């Protein structure tokens, strides 16, 4: 693609993407205390990459965030989520019992905090990875739009 | 044997068997997705299914040992109205045992057929999708929460669509079949969740046991009745109750052989379990609208399935389609048993469910062997195979005779039980339908068996070529099980009777 095309689009996108990612992370970590959480944050993060793919083309997006990577991220997300459950089992609790993670007394909240953050992180990985994998699977099938067809 | 397993099982397995049964396959599935090697993922899948079978056996033992007949497990240690609970009684422990046992046999035999039918780079992903499907089906059977049941139903269905679509490497018609299945399956799931929504609005809880407790007070409530209707249609679609079975023949005929075998023996069975759970545990046969449903809806549909789909099976030229239509007809038998509305009827239906899983498992395994060695599934392709592949085809023939209901096979025993249950209620005319449908089964299985054993091979180059040993061993385990359980019915009939009693909330008898 020639660099003098869609200059405004490219410049705006480049400034927007960090903001989108930052907002995604805000939603992610705000999920502990208010509305938000891994699912929404995962979608927002994936949207950042999808915007990049729309403006700069799917091949360059695939170079930046390869499909093999997105697939692994989705798998790692599920592994993380289920892994917290097994961690609780190993500590002698029920499956996914956060309270058991550090074998705390009933008043302690350390396990609850760590548990929910890890779970939400798992959801973030799972959702953003799956969203991008689905996007690549669909977008990868169509030929690139030529410059004149815009 | 089950006592021995309870004795040797470590304490953590006894305590956490319900969670481990679904979570170990679900945990290993994403791990397989990032593995590079197909053979390794096959071995891990075998491990996962064997482990699930181990947990299922523990659960069967625990349920039999428990004074109330229920094993409960609160996920995350949250008590019932807040958290999700896994609840196992005689009914779902039987289904879990069935799914896990078929899962083990299916995974063992899968490797040669997967190697032949699926592109190599997709092997790990294929096994990953299989484990997700396996975990989803076990999850539907194990959960005690109406919404969680929907989630597991979708987990198993979505991975099933993927598995069916992967048959495209062998036959492109797998793609429309998978798409069709996707649309129908999604409709079924939506109907189910709408029904759960109605029940939730009336009762304010999603726990199945709690809903069941509150429903008798809500007699005559319209939203409960609407919820009932939606749930019956939704689960009926998943269970391929006639006339909602249209997705099934194509999905079974064009998916990879391994998938066909696994699905035919488990997927519709699990949906049927959920249907029985709703018909007898949540709603009660005493409710007027449910009695009407049995008499005017389920029984005619069961009879119609037995007759029309057996006829359709007679006119198929493809062996897998014949067997698929026969599956819908067999679901008709189970629905007929359920629609009697008595403990004997439900136990006959469940008994046939177990036997049919063994029968169709063996039949589709033998067909998978033919697909592997001779690359054909039409009846013409089967001509003369009795001489070229005697071991595979004898296994096929035993299961085929069991499907017809020849004495000394499992199929005969379950039809006998169904007949007893029908006679008990004075429905001798329904027995006539059962006999007539069995007669049609003689015709459609007879056509295939005649081609196999009495016609000369079409292609003289088809020399002696047996299916690989990995396939023959599970096939013969299932075939011999058909004969063994046709002679002594103690084990499956006992399981089915306890399960039916549990469905009604009675003490096991």
pLDDT digits (tens, 9 = 90+) for B165-220: 988 888 888 899 999 999 999 999 999 999 999 999 988 888 888 888 888 888 77
Phi-psi label, residue A86: left if phi above 0, alpha if psi -120 to 50, beta otherwise = alpha
DSSP strand pairing (B85-89 vs B70-74):
antiparallel
Q: Is residue A34 part of a domain?
A: yes
Question: Which chain A residues are closer than 8 Å to B129 by Cβ?
Answer: none
In a domain, A2, yes or no: no
Residue % of chain B over a pLDDT of 90: 37
Length of chain B: 509
Whole-angstrom distance, CA of residue B24 vs CA of residue A95: 11
In a domain, A43, yes or no: yes
Contact B372, B113 (CB under 8 A): yes
Assess B75–A contact: CB distance below 8 Å, yes or no: yes
Q: What's the rounded Cα separation, in Å, for the pair A62 and A64?
A: 5
User: Residue B27 and residue A82: Cβ atoms within 8 Å?
Assistant: yes
Q: Residue B507's pLDDT band (boundaries 50, 70, 90)?
A: low
The predicted structure's pLDDT at residue B508: 45
- ipTM of the complex as predicted: 0.86
Tokens 């030229």 sit at which residue? B317
SS3 per-residue string spanning B253-318: HHCCHHHHHHHHHHHHHHHHHHHHHHHHHHCCCCCHHHHHHHHHHHHHHHHHHHHHHHHHHHCCCE
| pLDDT score at B222 | 87
Q: What is the 3-state secondary structure (H, E, C) of A25-91?
A: HHHHHHCCCCCCCHHHHHHHHHHHHHHHHHHHCHHHHHHHCCHHHHHHHHHHHHHHHHHHHHHHHHC
B26 part of contact set with chain A, CB < 8 Å:
yes
Residue A14: inside a domain: yes
Measure the CA–CA gap between B500 and B496, rounded to whole angstroms.
6
The C-alpha atoms of residue B265 and residue B358 are separated, in whole angstroms, by: 7
Query: CA-CA distance, B274 to B137, in Å (whole number)?
Result: 11
Instruction: Determine the pLDDT at residue A146.
Output: 67
> Measured between CB atoms, does B362 come within 8 Å of chain A?
no
Evaluate whether A82 touches B27 at the Cβ level (below 8 Å).
yes
What lies within 8 Å, CB to CB, of B148 at 6+ separation is B84, B139, B206
Interface of A with B in 100-129 (CB under 8 A): 100
CB contact under 8 A, A79 and B31: yes
C-beta separation of B173 from B250 below 8 A: yes
Closest by Cβ to A94, choosing from B27, B29, B76:
B76
CA-based torsion, B387, B388, B390, B392: positive or negative? negative
The answer, for B8 touching chain A at a CB cutoff of 8 Å, is no
- Enumerate long-range contacts of B175-178, CB under 8 Å, 24 or more apart: B176/B250, B177/B247, B177/B250, B177/B251, B177/B253, B177/B254, B177/B255, B178/B251, B178/B255
Pick from B320, B309, B336, B312: which is nearest to B432 by CA?
B336
The residue in chain B having the minimum alpha-carbon distance to the alpha carbon of residue A68 is B34
The answer to whether the Cβ–Cβ distance between B16 and A95 falls below 8 Å is yes
CA distances from A26 to A29, A35, A51, A141, B321 (A): 5, 11, 19, 33, 54
Using a CB-CB distance cutoff of 8 angstroms, which residues of chain B are in contact with residue A83?
27
Q: Per-residue pLDDT tens for B297-341?
A: 888 999 999 999 999 999 988 899 999 999 999 999 999 999 888
Under the banding of pLDDT at 50, 70 and 90, the label for residue B389 is: confident
- The CA distance from B309 to A1, in Å, is 59
pLDDT, one tens digit for every residue, chain A (150 residues)? 455 678 888 899 999 999 999 999 999 988 777 777 889 999 999 999 999 998 888 888 889 999 889 999 999 999 999 999 898 888 888 888 888 888 887 777 888 888 888 999 999 999 999 999 999 988 877 666 666 665
Q: Tell me the backbone φ, ψ of residue B43, rounded to 5 degrees.
A: -65, -40
Helix-helix angle B90-117:B343-374, to 10 degrees? 10
pLDDT bracket for residue B374 (50, 70, 90): confident
Query: Choosing among B16, B25, B27, B30, which should be mutated to test the A contact, i.e. which has the most A CBs within 10 A?
Result: B30
Whole-prediction pTM value?
Answer: 0.92
Sorting pLDDT into bands at 50, 70 and 90, what band is B47?
very high
pLDDT at B230 over 90: yes
Q: Is residue A52 part of a domain?
A: yes
* Alpha-carbon gap, residue A78 to B135, rounded angstroms: 14
A99 is a domain residue: yes
Query: Is A1 inside a domain boundary?
Result: no
Identify the burial level of B184 via C-beta atoms within 10 angstroms of its C-beta, where 0-12 means exposed, 13-18 middle and 19 or more buried. Answer: buried
Distance CA B237, CA B167 (A): 22
Count of domains for chain A: 1
Q: Which residues of chain B have a CB within 8 Å of the CB of A89? A: 12, 16, 19-20
A82: nearest CB among B23, B34, B73: B23
Alpha-carbon gap: B168 to the closest alpha carbon of chain A (Å): 17
Domain span including residue A82: 7-149
């Amino acid at each position: 693609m020639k660099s003098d095309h869609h200059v405004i689009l490219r410049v705006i996108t480049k400034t927007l993407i960090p903001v989108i990612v930052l907002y995604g992370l805000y939603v992610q970590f705000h999920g502990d205390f208010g509305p938000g959480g891994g699912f929404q944050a995962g979608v927002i993060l994936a949207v950042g990459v999808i915007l990049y793919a729309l403006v700069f083309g799917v091949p360059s997006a695939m170079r930046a965030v390869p499909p093999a990577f997105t697939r692994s991220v989705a798998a790692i997300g599920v592994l993380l989520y289920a892994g917290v459950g097994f961690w609780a089992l190993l500590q002698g609790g029920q499956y996914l019992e956060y309270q058991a993670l550090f074998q705390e007394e009933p008043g302690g909240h350390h396990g609850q905090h760590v548990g929910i953050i890890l779970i939400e992180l798992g959801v973030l990985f799972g959702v953003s990875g799956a969203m991008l994998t689905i996007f690549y699977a669909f977008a990868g099938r169509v030929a690139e739009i030529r410059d004149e067809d815009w | 044997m089950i006592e021995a397993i309870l004795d040797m099982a470590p304490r953590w397995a006894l305590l956490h068997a319900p969670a481990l049964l679904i979570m170990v396959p679900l945990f290993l599935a994403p791990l397989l997705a990032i593995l590079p090697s197909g053979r390794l993922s096959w071995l891990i899948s075998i491990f996962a299914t064997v482990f699930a079978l181990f947990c299922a056996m523990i659960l069967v033992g625990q349920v039999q040992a428990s004074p109330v007949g229920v094993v409960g497990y609160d996920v995350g240690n949250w008590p019932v109205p807040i958290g999700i609970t896994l609840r196992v009684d005689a009914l779902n422990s039987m289904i879990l045992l069935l799914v896990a046992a078929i899962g083990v046999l299916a995974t063992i035999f899968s490797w040669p057929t997967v190697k032949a039918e699926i592109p190599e780079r997709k092997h790990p992903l294929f096994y990953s999708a299989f484990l997700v499907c396996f975990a989803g089906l076990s999850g539907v059977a194990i959960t005690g929460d109406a919404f969680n049941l929907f989630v597991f139903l979708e987990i198993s269905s979505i991975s099933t669509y993927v598995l069916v679509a992967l048959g495209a490497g062998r036959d492109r018609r797998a793609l429309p079949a998978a798409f069709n299945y996707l649309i129908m399956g999604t409709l079924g799931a939506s109907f189910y969740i709408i029904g759960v929504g109605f029940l939730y609005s009336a009762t304010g809880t999603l726990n199945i046991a709690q809903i069941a407790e509150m429903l008798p007070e809500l007699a005559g409530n319209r939203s409960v009745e609407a919820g009932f209707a939606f749930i019956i249609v939704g689960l009926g679609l998943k269970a391929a109750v006639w006339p909602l079975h249209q997705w099934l023949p194509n999905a079974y005929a064009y998916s990879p052989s391994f998938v066909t075998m696994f699905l035919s023996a488990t997927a519709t069975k699990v949906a049927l379990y959920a249907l029985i759970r709703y018909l007898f545990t949540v709603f009660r046969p005493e409710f007027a609208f449910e009695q009407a449903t049995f008499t005017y809806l389920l029984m005619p549909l069961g009879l119609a399935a037995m007759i029309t789909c057996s006829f359709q099976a007679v006119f198929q030229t493809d062996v897998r389609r014949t067997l698929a239509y026969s599956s819908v007809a067999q679901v008709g038998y189970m629905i007929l048993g359920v629609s009697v509305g008595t403990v004997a009827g439900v136990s006959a239906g469940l008994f046939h469910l177990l036997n049919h899983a063994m029968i169709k498992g063996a039949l589709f395994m033998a067909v998978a062997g033919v697909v592997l060695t001779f690359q054909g599934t039409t009846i013409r392709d089967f001509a003369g195979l009795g001489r070229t592949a005697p071991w595979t085809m004898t296994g096929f023939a035993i299961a085929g005779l069991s499907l017809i209901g020849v004495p000394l096979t499992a199929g005969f025993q379950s039809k006998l039980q169904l007949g007893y249950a029908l006679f008990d209620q004075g429905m001798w005319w329904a027995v006539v339908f059962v006999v007539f449908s069995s007669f049609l089964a003689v015709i459609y299985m007879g056509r295939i068996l005649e081609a196999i054993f009495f016609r000369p091979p079409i292609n003289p180059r088809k020399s002696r070529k047996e299916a690989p040993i990995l396939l023959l061993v599970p096939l013969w385990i299932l075939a011999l099980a058909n004969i063994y359980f046709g002679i002594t019915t103690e084990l499956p009939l006992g399981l089915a009777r306890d399960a039916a009693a549990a469905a009604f909330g009675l003490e096991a008898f």
